[in-house]
Amino acid sequence: MSLEAFNLNLFEHLNAPIGANIYMVDFAIFIANDTLYLLIIFLLLSWFLGSRQSKELAFKAVLTTVIALIIGFMISSIFPHPRPFMIDAGRTLIYHAPNASFPSDHMLIFSSIALSYLFAKEKNIGVFLLLLAIEVAWSRVYLGVHFPLDMVGAFFVALFTNIIMQKIWIKHGANLIDLALKIYCFIFSKPLQKGWVK
């Protein structure tokens, strides 16, 4: 069996069947779409209300994610792979633009941030976010906008990016976070003085 055939076969097993439970579909839509906003809120709170360490963790996670997304964009531009609905595979239960599917941007974001926290030895947050990333991966395949290998590929791009970022951070992390904090203090000087943010 070819890798493409394996990918399609696995997709057909994970994709929502005809007559899927409406509550399962609603749950999948929430995981696929809305958890991203919760993740963004978590990172914003970590930066605006957290300690220096919380700010550093959030900043490193976001920077790692941006780099991972750039790498993912380059991969999808060079090796574009159609989404399931573009080849009439399975059932699609949410709207998505007909662009390249490999690697998944959602999985890149969640796994990059999860691995960033794990690499920083923040086990509880990292494990929780990694489990959430797995749920996101399942939901987007279940809803028919991604193939399983889109998720596997995204995870390995995120892992590669985190390994590289870890090496960069050891040498330049202190300077990067100092610069980010200086810019932050300059832009948000009044809210900081009033104690609205930290």
Q: Tens digits of per-residue pLDDT, 109-146?
A: 999 999 999 999 898 999 999 999 999 999 999 999 99
Q: How confident is the model at residue 3 (pLDDT cuts 50, 70, 90)?
A: confident
Give the closest residue to 106 by CA, choosing from 79, 77, 143, 78.
Answer: 143
Q: Interhelix angle for 123-142 vs 22-29, to 10°?
A: 130
Q: Where are the beta strands (DSSP E) in the chain?
A: none
Query: Residues near 198 by Cβ (< 8 Å), separated by ≥ 6?
Result: 48, 49, 50, 51, 192
Q: Tens digits of per-residue pLDDT, 5-40?
A: 888 889 999 999 988 899 999 999 999 999 999 999
- What pTM did the predictor assign? 0.91
DSSP 8-class letter at 85: G
| Distance (Å, whole) CA 6 – CA 165 | 32
| Distance (Å, whole) CA 188 – CA 174 | 21
